[in-house]
Amino acid sequence: MRAAVSYTFSVPYVEKLQKGGLVYVGFALGNHYDVSQDSVGGRQKIVRDKLETVLTIVDKSKRYNIYPAGDKYACFELDVHSAHGGPTRRLQSRSQPDAQLRVESESSAAEFQTHYAANAQPKSSFLVFVLPDLREDRWVYKGETSIPDLEIDNAHWYEYLLKEGDMDMTYRMYVSEEGHPLRLWQLGANLYSGGHKDIYVSDYYNFKAVDDFAEDEFAVPEWGNCNGSTSPYADALGAAGDAGAQIEAQAPSRHWGDAAYDSFVHASGRRHRHAGEYHARRRHFHASRAAVEAHNAAEAEHGFRLGLNRFADWTPEEWEAVTSTETGSGVSAEDLEGLPMHQRTLSNEEVPAVFSWQGTPMDSPVKDQGACGSCWTFSTVSTVEAAYYRVKGEQRLFSEQNLIDCSWVGTNRGCYGGRQITALDWIFQTQHGLAGEAEYPYRGLNDWCRKDVKRVGLKGRSVQVPADDHEALKEAIATKGPITVSVDAGDPKFKFYAGGLYKRKGCGKGRLNHAVIVSGYGTTDEGEDYWLVKNMWSPFWGEKGYVRIARSEDDCGISKLPVYAEIDEVSE
């Protein structure tokens, strides 16, 4: 196939936080994708919002990901054999072999069969997925229909029915009389954006088959700053915000015979480029599964239980990209130099023995950072939201994306990591405010700073709580609200935490690599003290998005570098 196409993608998403849902394009949270693709030659260019470019050239074994980084472009170069991708093939159903529903000529189809990359795979298999393959037996031709909202009277449609356990899922692809893609409609789990059943609609337009592209169509742009630099987590960019990997997540899942892993694939949204990736991830899944089962078999010994979640088949590099980035995510001791110290107003005797902000307007809803290393923004915003509530007496959700896009100062690098103190300094000393979540919604990737969005004016500062002083931290939580802290999330057991009292000898003695929020504290029925910590991995992780961490010397770093925001003045 040599063709160009554009498409949009809509889905009702995070209704609790963003009423009316969001409109995306592809998997990334954008507004528009333009695609140029030469399947035979193994060349592809995808431009998101006329802003971010993913350029794949199989003969060079290169994928270039060019994206906004503050006020300029940055570029990562990946080896195409290790980057994520998936094939886009002609629209032809085995169930309706006589239908003229295709986007490739027969000669192109023949070329597709004979042009292979160096490892004997077709070059197209290294390209980012854009359209489903209607040649697969699971797609059944259903006949002619209309699409009223697109004002299309004559369309052909295909259907794929899937039953996974008790869940029935339906997928429908619509094409024009000429075989041009029109719409992919889904009622099911995860063909686009995550592990839940929902309705997803992708509309294609401006499809155009071409004999060949202009010579410079797939040229690496000089303005992209592609100078041979590679990401320190190049193999993990699928989990850290790489647009190519995000779009590829739309590919229908493929199964190679492992019932347990295949079931997980549908529950988690994993999409595989080829059998090699399937089996590699399958091994990670079974290793995770064995570790979880072994731990839970001795739960009485540990005090907490584990559960498989979306991280079960992630590679170590992917996990590292989300929790521990190039610049680090969290607060460092150097960050605290010169910060004012928290002044207590309650004595130890006056501090409540048990206290929790969970479920109150002071503690914002559990959010989800997705596949972006932006934990530092969620931790920062949460303490700003708490400070706002102390001043105004009402809950206001602020924008993490505002920090991702605009706070490129010091060690802050958007989806590739940052620190809460630097972010708070930027809010109070540089921007003098922060946009609201509704006005600047979360996209989960690096984008240009939107300076036209109205900000809430905020005058304030960061305040540190004395390190390793549990009583001072308890008092600060009770009087100031949720507090930003950094934790040691390096142990695999942390990512699979499913409930109970999390405790691990030596936890927090090394690097603190993940930013979270401490929202309360308490004591278990067995008399063990804990911190109540809010994560940003959705309500489906841990105990509805929270984890109880033992309040001891091994508290995973919670009491080492706690900081909160203090707001003196708000101007709407």
Least-confidence region, from 160-164, 429-433, 441-445: 160-164
Q: By percentage, how much of the chain surpasses pLDDT 70?
A: 75
Same domain, 196 and 289: no
> Does residue 173 sit within a domain?
no
Residue 486 lies in a domain: yes
Q: Which of 308, 306, 307, 326 is nearest to 317 (CA)?
A: 326
Q: Is the pLDDT of residue 218 over 90?
A: yes
Helix count and strand count (H, E) for the chain: 12, 22
Q: 14 in helix, strand or coil?
A: coil
Region 418-430: what's the mean pLDDT? Answer: 94
- Say yes or no: 86 and 232 in one domain: yes
Question: Does residue 432 form part of some domain?
Answer: yes
Selecting among 75, 226, 372, 375, the annotated active-site residue is 375
Q: Which amino acid is at 250?
A: Q
User: Which residue has better confidence, 516 or 323?
Assistant: 516
How far apart are alpha carbons 438 and 17 in whole angstroms?
8
Query: CB-based burial of residue 216 (10 Å sphere; 0-12 exposed, 13-18 middle, 19+ buried)?
Result: exposed
User: Are both 454 and 546 inside the same structural domain?
Assistant: yes
Q: Which helix (H) or strand (E) element contains residue 426?
A: none
Task: Specify whether the CB–CB gap between 1 and 89 falls below 8 A.
Answer: yes
- Please choose, from the candidates 242, 294, 328, 332, the residue with its C-alpha nearest in 3D space to the C-alpha of residue 563: 332
Residue 154 lies in a domain: no
Whether 251 shows a pLDDT value over 50: the answer reads no
| Residue 156 belongs to some domain of the structure | no
pLDDT tens per residue, range 128-147:
767 777 887 888 999 999 99
pLDDT at 96 over 70: no
Measure CA 474 to chain center. 32
Domain of 91 in residue numbering reads as 2-136+178-248
User: Pick the catalytic residue: 180, 284, 342, 514?
Assistant: 514
pLDDT tens per residue across span 334-351: 666 778 999 999 999 999
In this structure, is residue 550 part of a structural domain?
A: yes
Buried b (16+ CB within 10 A) or exposed e, 469-478: ebebbbbbbb
Domain shared by 299 and 326, yes or no: no
**Which of 190, 402, 412, 535 is labelled catalytic?**
535
Residue 389 maps to which CATH number?
3.90.70.10
Decide if 192 contacts 9 (C-beta within 8 A): yes
The candidate with the shortest Cα–Cα distance to 157, out of 171, 167, 137, is 171
Instruction: Name the band, by pLDDT with cuts 50, 70 and 90, for residue 92.
Output: very low
Angle at 196 between CA 544 and CA 165, to 5 degrees: 105
Q: Determine the residue type at 40.
A: V
Per-residue pLDDT, 539: 85
For residue 69, what are the β-bridge partners?
72
Task: Please tell me the distance from the alpha carbon of residue 24 to that of residue 194, in angstroms, as a whole number.
Answer: 13
**CA 558, CA 335: separation in Å to the nearest integer?**
16
**H/E element, 268:** helix 259-268
Mean pLDDT of the chain: 78
For residue 535, indicate whether it is catalytic: yes
Q: Are residues 86 and 220 in the same domain?
A: yes
514 included as an active-site residue: yes
Do 243 and 111 belong together in one domain?
yes
* 150 domain-assigned: no
Q: Provide long-range contacts, Cβ within 8 A and 24+ apart, for 490-493.
A: 490/323, 490/324, 492/288, 492/291, 493/291, 493/295, 493/306
pLDDT of residue 19: 37
Do residues 229 and 360 lie in contact, with contact meaning Cβ atoms separated by under 8 Å? no
Report if residue 310 sits inside a domain: no
CB 28 within 8 A of CB 211: no
pLDDT at 28 > cutoff 70: no
Q: 3-class SS at 543?
A: strand
pLDDT at 144: 96
Let me know whether 114 and 237 are in one domain: yes
Q: Which residue has the tokens 């899937």?
A: 162
Tally the domains of the chain: 3
Distance of alpha carbon 345 from alpha carbon 342, whole angstroms: 10
Q: Do 299 and 202 share a domain, yes or no? A: no
Query: Which pLDDT tens digit goes with each residue over 521-543?
Result: 999 999 999 999 999 988 888 99
405 and 533 within one domain: yes
Question: Which amino acid is present at 314?
Answer: W
Assess whether 404 and 519 both reside in one domain.
yes
Do the bridges between strand 455-464 and strand 433-435 make them parallel or antiparallel, or are there none, so unpaired?
A: antiparallel
Opening angle at CA 144, ends 138 and 150, nearest 5 = 100
Q: Is 266 known to be catalytic?
A: no
State whether 372 and 323 are in the same domain. yes
Which residues are 2's β-sheet partners?
38
Q: Which of 32-41, 71-80, 102-111, 477-486 has the largest mean confidence?
A: 477-486
Residues 234 and 267 in one domain: no
Most confident of 131-140, 171-180, 319-328: 171-180
Give the residue-averaged pLDDT of 442-469: 92
- Smallest CA-to-CA distance from 503 within 285, 295, 290 is with 295
Over residues 279-285, mean pLDDT: 84
Contact between 518 and 526 under an 8 Å Cβ cutoff? The reply is no
The residue among 509 and 134 whose pLDDT is bigger is 134
